Structure 1
Amino acid sequence: MRLSTLLTSASSLFLATLVLAEGPSDVIDLTPANFKSVVSSEKLILVEFFAPWCGHCKALAPHYEEAATALKEKDVKLAKVNCVDEPDLCQAHGVQGYPTLKVFRDGEPADYTGPRKTDGIISYMIKQSLPAVSEVTVANFDEFKKADKIVAIAYLSSPSDAPAAEFQATAEKHRDDYLFGQSTDSALIEAAGLSAPTIVLYRAFDDPVSVYPYPALSATVEEIENWIKELSVPTLAEVNAENYMVYAQSGKPLAYLFLDPTSENKDEEIERVRVVALEHKAKINFVWIDAIKFGDHAKALNLVEATWPSFVIQDLEKQLKYPLEQTTELTADAIKEWVESFVAGTLQATLKSQAIPESQDEAVYNLVGKEFDQVVFQDDKDVFVEFYASWCGHCKRLKPIWDTLGEHYAAVKDRVIIAKIDAPENDLPPSVPFRVAGFPTLKFKPAGTKDWIDYDGDRSLESLIAFVDEHAKNSLEAPAKNESTPPQPPIEFHEQTHDEL
């Protein structure tokens, strides 16, 4: 069967299904009675495990319905299981949260890792329905190269010629990410003005055609995937929840232009940044973002004023933020100078911090970002830190235990510091070799070192005490009550100063 009868671009399908037709749903309802018979009989089927009360499930529902209708003509089915009505069935499939989506191929499940909007679901499932590498000819070439946002085609003299094996392996590895084709059609190769072997990437953005710039004959999987990965990120595009992970996984810093999408100057503002992005895209990814919708994200990146447009660079690996002063006029020259300073390593990150407490009256030291280095990296102190969030339920349950832990070591607090820091409200300085991803996070820094030890035990007081006793370098023996201890001068901490950004 010709590919054209199997493949229609996701965009065309999406446009055809913007309005759901009235009538019965095209999503199959699964129960214990029909689950095995339906799922096992399909070469490919997507199953959603959901709960009716789940907000994320409700948001997914119209997109899931639209995708089911669009994919029906491609003989790709979508189904769902109500986990409130069928808890045992969901538990049997390892469902721990909602919605959980799984792709079943000949009855064997795999996690769905695609988008959750209509066109993304369609695109993902079409790629799943095709072989890892599809055959491309003159007849289906125009359709195939536009079938997804990123399409790679290897042009070969014969199916066994290099780099066919490496290209196939790359396709197997990234079939969820990109669309891959292979052609030995001499008429197509000649019409395209190419010579075999050649690999070409077709994109729905920026330069639409990119030819592999190295000898294709010796291309390896790593080289092919790195080349595609580099070209898979637009020079400048809107970032949102659907595509954020593309940028997060790229390994590059991310430069944001926050703007009001209703502004009459929107296009002009984007073009100012695009000029700079074209020059520096090899080292930084550039995006624009809806500042009205994602105002909280702007605050998290230390853009404190609701003033748009604004510009900030984030080092995703170190979670450091470099906001351009919001009182600065956002010209192309100002943006260029800021980016070039970042690339040169001369910018200083802006660290969010709560004010240094006027006094430390509790057994647990209330740590803030401004004094993190001075307190934690004292060579003569063992330091046990809880990184918490004020809204975190687990942190609230730990608080009385952590307070008691502080009291337990109060007699030796000149040697052992039990501390806490509100992580969302205080950025960690560049000297810290880790970033906090969940709450509470507990880490211990022994005296005489800058190394950290993760605490991964249970959160009982007994276990926490045992951990400190095991890893502390200082003596934990409290002074005798009749022992005269000379008063210690207070430790003075001075607020770090930063150049104005």
Structure 2
Amino acid sequence: MRVSSLLASASSLLLATLAVAEGPLMCGHCKALAPHYEEAATSLKEKGIKIAKVNCVDEPDLCQAHGVQGYPTLKVFRNGEPTDYSGPRKADGIISYMVKQSLPAVSLVTAANIEEFKGADKIVAIAYFSSPSDAPAAEFQATAEKHRDDYLFGQTTDADAIKAAGVSPPTIVIYRAFDDPVSVYPYPVVSATVEEIENWIKELSIPVIAEVNAENYMIYAQSGKPLAYLFLDPTSETKDEYIERVRSVALEQKDKINFVWIDAVKFGDHAKALNLPESSWPSFVIQDLEKQLKYPLDQNTEVTTTVVKDWVKSFITGALQPTLKSQPIPETQDDVVYNLVGKEFDQVVFQDDKDVFVEFYASWCGHCKRLKPTWDSLGEHYAAVKDRLIIAKIDAPENDLPPSVPFRVAGFPTLKFKPAGTKQWIDYDGDRSLESLIAFVDEHAGNSLKAPAKNESAPSQSHVEFHDQTHDEL
């Protein structure tokens, strides 16, 4: 049977990876996935879940029909209908994800299978009811439909199962493979809403302190809480000792901050991105994920329970100031485009009498490189009015934005305009032609952009006077 026919006729559940599956063209990500995919296939075969792979060199039309733009692309086929696979890419994660997909959103739990079901995943939610119509059965079902990819849900009215669990219906119980293994819904359950149930499960799904990696990072990123990292050398004999030093603080503050430990050897670049410049472990840092601000503990300071507790308390109360990464302030500004850095961002950008148009770029970004000559031309176009309008650029990965900035940059290049007399930002989302950029500036500028008469001279941008010439030291 052709692969396309297999996918279309899958009667129940099938996971397919569409990739350059073999040979010299096989991509690095495909190679990394391959052993995990094979291990998962062996385990899932016993559960009646099929795993397939498609070589996009041999099946280009099929891959194109399924919108494959990068390798590997994973798709879940249920009764021949594809959906994107959004689970982990390690064997145990693939197995867990596909087992959830094979089950109804809420599985029937009985006395015969309850013990096995409670340990079937890291997070298992079981609702105990006297009758299927008991409140909040409908809300529990809706929660399960919404989060079937995230957690395992079961429901029972079996008197023996309820007795074995030692609970009084109606109630909902979470069984975890970490920390406290059993948690009973702590509020009046009959009035529980979908939002309340999902928030409760979400809170319990994050350990007090566990290792963070590429597989589980999004759990923390989507939690809405700051993230405290303990960077450790995983081969160190003192690793567990330092984790225990932080655990008590993590337990005390888990409602406000998530705590993790991370492999400092493997993720050394991430440590530098969090403003930990030295390869000195252990090290501790808190990151405000929403504002992308970093609060690293001095790496010369011993990581003790007391030190971490005081650091976290200062962060929570707002007493800590973030450490901002910045390139050096340029000695001169001779180009038509102002070379902006983090240390002087506020002083340059938030001058009330100036319009400012900023390109947030990355040195490695191809789109940014293509924009550069146009952006330079934009600076040249307005060179005569640079006392009123600053055309600027900033290497965003090398310069942290200060807390005063109400946004964070997620892609490059990002273009934002701040009119004179305001602290508001206007996103530029038009095409990147010089004509369109000029039209945008002319439309939104707070100042007159009429060039001075020829016998007048505009001050050089390198001599623009700032209202506040002081600079924060990092």
- Shorter-chain TM-score bucket reads over 0.9
Secondary structure at 2:173 match in 1: strand
Moved more, 122-131 or 186-195: 186-195
Residue 472 of structure 2 is aligned to residue 497 of structure 1: yes
Cα distance in structure 1, aligned partners of 2:53 and 2:81: 16
Cα distance in structure 1, aligned partners of 2:376 and 2:49: 56
Cα distance in structure 2, aligned partners of 1:485 and 1:49: 59
Aligned ranges 1:37-436 → 2 under 5 Å: 37-51=6-20, 52-436=25-409
- In the other structure, the counterpart of 1:6 is none
Deviations 1:257-315 (A, max 9, x none): 00111111111011001011011011000000000110000000000111100000000
- Whether the 8 Å contact between 2:387 and 2:458 is mirrored in structure 1 is no
Secondary structure at 1:420 match in 2: strand
Moved more, 340-349 or 477-486: 477-486
Aligned residues between the structures: 468
Cα distance in structure 2, aligned partners of 1:151 and 1:174: 12
Cα distance in structure 2, aligned partners of 1:182 and 1:419: 59
- In the other structure, the counterpart of 2:434 is 461
Cα distance in structure 1, aligned partners of 2:10 and 2:68: 22
- Whether the 8 Å contact between 2:386 and 2:458 is mirrored in structure 1 is no
**1:464–1:76 distance in 2 versus 1, CA, 3 Å:** same
Q: What one-letter code is carried by the residue in structure 2 that aligns with 1:348?
A: Q
Q: CA deviation at 1:400?
A: 1.2
Q: What one-letter code is carried by the residue in structure 2 that aligns with 1:150?
A: I
Cα distance in structure 2, aligned partners of 1:255 and 1:389: 26
**1:62–1:485 distance in 2 versus 1, CA, 3 Å:** closer
Deviations 1:71-93 (A, max 9, x none): 11111111122222322221111
Cα distance in structure 2, aligned partners of 1:118 and 1:385: 45
Cα distance in structure 2, aligned partners of 1:484 and 1:131: 75
- Whether the 8 Å contact between 1:149 and 1:204 is mirrored in structure 2 is yes
| TM-score for both structures, normalised by structure 1 | 0.91
Secondary structure at 1:175 match in 2: coil
Equivalent of 2:454 in 481, 487, 493: 481
Cα distance in structure 2, aligned partners of 1:200 and 1:400: 61
Q: What one-letter code is carried by the residue in structure 2 that aligns with 1:497?
A: D
Q: What one-letter code is carried by the residue in structure 2 that aligns with 1:50?
A: A
Secondary structure at 1:360 match in 2: coil
Deviations 1:296-340 (A, max 9, x none): 000000001111000000000000000011111111100000001
Cα distance in structure 1, aligned partners of 2:58 and 2:333: 53
Q: CA deviation at 1:495?
A: 4.5
Cα distance in structure 2, aligned partners of 1:50 and 1:281: 41
Secondary structure at 1:287 match in 2: strand
**1:463–1:128 distance in 2 versus 1, CA, 3 Å:** same
Q: What one-letter code is carried by the residue in structure 2 that aligns with 1:491?
A: E
Deviations 1:167-221 (A, max 9, x none): 0000000000000000111122123221110100000000000000011111111
Deviations 1:100-119 (A, max 9, x none): 11111111111111000000
Q: What one-letter code is carried by the residue in structure 1 that aligns with 2:11?
A: E
Cα distance in structure 2, aligned partners of 1:313 and 1:49: 39
Moved more, 141-150 or 485-494: 485-494
Cα distance in structure 1, aligned partners of 2:93 and 2:6: 28
Q: What one-letter code is carried by the residue in structure 2 that aligns with 1:312?
A: V
Secondary structure at 2:391 match in 1: strand
**Structure 1: runs of 5 or more not aligned:** 1-29
- Whether the 8 Å contact between 1:39 and 1:45 is mirrored in structure 2 is no
Secondary structure at 1:206 match in 2: coil
Q: What one-letter code is carried by the residue in structure 2 that aligns with 1:85?
A: D
**1:467–1:358 distance in 2 versus 1, CA, 3 Å:** same
Q: CA deviation at 1:36?
A: 2.8
**1:141–1:466 distance in 2 versus 1, CA, 3 Å:** same
Cα distance in structure 2, aligned partners of 1:38 and 1:74: 19
